[in-house]
Amino acid sequence: MRQQRRRRRLDTAVDDGLIRRNPCRIKGAGQEKSPERPVLTIPQVYALADAVGDRYRALVLLGVFGSLRWGELAALRRSDIDFQARTVWISRQLSEQRGGGFAFGPPKSDAGHRTVAIPSVIRPDLASHIVTFAASGDDGLVFTSSAGRPLRRSNFCRRNWHPTLRATGLPPIHFHDLRHTGNQFAADEGANLRELMDRMGHSTTLAALAYLHGSDERQQAIADALSSRAAAELNRPKARPSGTQRARRRGTAS
């Protein structure tokens, strides 16, 4: 039973691109090492969003700043987005079927059903996208192909993603690295383990722990923050004693 739980957790890590293969299923598991997935900078994210074109600009930005999977993005409906609350409700995902069909189904786990807060900075892009490109009606898909069909990952990558990477000069990253980037952004801003798990839609700590590693820049930022706090406390002017306090001191001295 314990081995089965471990295997399921590692399957989740494979799905999220954190490791290439499940070491429980391969020979020489103890030697398995996975390369570090790339994390984009914010200027790189916006360079991608600018270059991919108007139809898919919001797809890129929400993939990063919402930390959403491809299937979750492809399944979003108009009614899943609450602009007043600045949230996106994730309740399903789109899967491509062999033979060319599509199927909408529930997230991979109960934790996948979640509400994700989105930054205000991308709200104008998302609102403009819905007005211009989303399918009509509350159940209309937010993101579709140019023909109004559900998105197919292979077509999107061939027609849009790979040409965009070449145009921006970025390395050949995967679309899933947008989610990875967003997860790291959240961790860098101080999200704790529970908050990362909720945002990512995971019921175990395995995937979220990958983003809570230290870095030289983060350690320096912590040291600078401590220095600023100490300096502020030491430089704070001492409060002058009140008249009553001064009188008491004179009385004590006499």
- Report yes or no: 201 and 90 within 8 Å, Cβ to Cβ: yes
- Report yes or no: 165 and 109 within 8 Å, Cβ to Cβ: no
Select the CATH number that applies to the domain covering 42-206 from these four: 3.30.40.10, 1.10.3720.10, 2.40.160.50, 1.10.443.10: 1.10.443.10
Model pLDDT for residues 192-209, shown as the tens digit of each residue: 889 999 999 988 888 788
CA distance to 8, 63, 171, 231, 250, per residue, from 176 (Å): 20, 8, 14, 43, 72
Q: What ranges do the domains of the chain cover?
A: 2-35, 42-206
- Given a cut of 70, whether residue 232 has pLDDT beyond it is yes
Output 214 or 101, whichever has higher pLDDT: 101
Model pLDDT for residues 32-91, shown as the tens digit of each residue: 344 578 899 999 999 999 999 999 999 999 999 999 999 999 999 999 999 999 999 999
CA distance 62 to 55: 13
- pTM for the model stands at 0.74
> What's the pLDDT at 238?
72
Model pLDDT for residues 164-188, shown as the tens digit of each residue: 999 999 988 999 999 999 999 998 8
> What's the pLDDT at 169?
94
Return the active site residues.
69, 176, 179, 202, 211
